[in-house]
Structure 1
């Protein structure tokens, strides 16, 4: 099943099949998110189900489960797999995983919460299993392919060329920090603050690579998504360093911009709002205009 078939009707079929395999009732399931994964909270059990778009994400889902178990063993606050949950299932070509449902947040996560968690992650040794490098640009072609016939081919070609250029630039970087395990998508939205305090969620991009990858995300949030400057200052002060003071910061930022523009493409079929945002992002990159604010999608 390809990304083009990742509609809500299809996802609900996969949800029911996965729950049938595990003996959990999907009755009353609530949709929490619908992006590269569809995420549902179950009503009859304290479980959240994540369903991936296509078979290529199965290995990533299995690795995410391994990361969750490893972080638990390291004492790092992070989301855990559901009790007695199976390993990642392949349900009609979609990877499916089961997670503990988190308590309601007591407050929104902030930049300081994220920075403190990243300091803990960045102090970890390598895990006893392999982690991939953080190839920010690996999904660009897949995301653009999902939008074929719905976006201007010239925009797709532009992003593919830009991907190649920034892949070469980032491969040549000399890091300031010691490489090692990273979260890979380090944003406050991937921190949940419950009664027990902040924890990391969405572990699917855990990698071993330049620690700077985790820091440039917030710089892009400030520059493209309007993160207030004081919050970025809180983040860098708490972490202890501003990645944009490093000569490689611009290259990592450019790579992430490229990936972020391409990522929206997979949502374009049947979604005029996604198409408008995709065009906005590509136009700002073509014009080399860093002042254009992007809309979160």
Structure 2
């Protein structure tokens, strides 16, 4: 398997730009490297997302469709770059999408900004196309398999066991909120606060599922990623409910933690810091240490 690192992503980006009729991205700036490699092309004012693997094509295609639909629902959202074809470009099988670059942020996004956008999103009707469920645990096997030979097999076995246990528990959850459209990865990092206010980003995990999914993310972030208690309190006040009051919170939190620990594994082969973080996460889950700090990638 060819490693998906910055060098590989740049080669794929160059292929996609050529197919899309865009200038060679020689000066592109890498913004993020995870499930996608995200690049700022500079000129034109475009951001490109290069998918880690061909299996992400359907998700990339759906993200473009959702962006157009949300804009039509008056939800502030990042816009696909309309000078290229309205579907992902393929570069050696990898999906590549192009987006208008947003105006520079006027300040960092805060949890209260996220709460306001989630309230609007959670009031929307279903889109005119099918959205699947938010299956947090579906990619776990792919992430763990990509780390074989680079992480402790006992850690992989532990995470697989957790995945199986939570997969069995999730169908029995009884929601407090009416299910419907969710963002699926509801974090302040997926909000951009520009001159016209907060804008919703990263629509790849949008789904039709329990609204509680979108609220558990920030509750977990207070414990694991250092979101201050007062910021979390402002979030719950702006949204109107604290998901920690819900009996299903522990199950949904545990499933998300399992997925988050497994996600880091896919970078362990090429990133020593990722391997260290993977071990930190797995050890804290084994020990039941729910407030051990995790660090984002």
CA distance in 2, matches of 1:225, 1:199: 22
CA distance in 1, matches of 2:84, 2:203: 17
Contact 2:183 2:214 in 1 (8 A): yes
Instruction: Give the corresponding residue for 1:16.
Output: 14
Contact 2:20 2:89 in 1 (8 A): no
1:69 to partner: Cα distance: 0.6
Instruction: Give the corresponding residue for 2:252.
Output: 252
CA distance in 1, matches of 2:35, 2:76: 24
Q: Counterpart of 2:236 in 1: which secondary structure?
A: helix
Instruction: Give the corresponding residue for 2:107.
Output: 107
Instruction: Give the corresponding residue for 2:98.
Output: 98
Aligned pairs for 1:114-153 within 5 A: 114-153=114-153
CA distance in 2, matches of 1:118, 1:48: 24
Residues 1:5 and 2:17 aligned together: no
1:66 to partner: Cα distance: 0.6
Instruction: Give the corresponding residue for 1:269.
Output: 269
1:274 to partner: Cα distance: 0.7
> Over residues 45-84 of structure 1, what are the superposed CA-to-partner deviations in whole Å (9 max), with x where a residue is unaligned?
0111100010110000000001001001101001010122
Instruction: Give the corresponding residue for 2:63.
Output: 64
Q: Counterpart of 2:218 in 1: which secondary structure?
A: helix
1:265 to partner: Cα distance: 0.2
Give unpaired runs (5+ residues) of structure 2: none
1:219 to partner: Cα distance: 0.5
Aligned pairs for 1:148-297 within 5 A: 148-297=148-297
Contact 2:146 2:265 in 1 (8 A): yes
Instruction: Give the corresponding residue for 2:54.
Output: 55
> Over residues 85-142 of structure 1, what are the superposed CA-to-partner deviations in whole Å (9 max), with x where a residue is unaligned?
2211221021100101011100000011000000000000100001110001111111
1:12 to partner: Cα distance: 1.2
CA distance in 2, matches of 1:256, 1:33: 21
Contact 1:174 1:248 in 2 (8 A): yes
Contact 1:24 1:44 in 2 (8 A): no
1:291 to partner: Cα distance: 2.5
Normalising by the residue count of structure 1, what TM-score does the alignment of the two structures yield? 0.97
Normalising by the residue count of structure 2, what TM-score does the alignment of the two structures yield? 0.97
CA distance in 1, matches of 2:232, 2:169: 25
Contact 1:6 1:53 in 2 (8 A): yes
Contact 1:27 1:43 in 2 (8 A): no
Q: Size of the alignment, in residue pairs?
A: 295
1:44 to partner: Cα distance: 2.0
Q: Counterpart of 1:5 in 2: which secondary structure?
A: coil
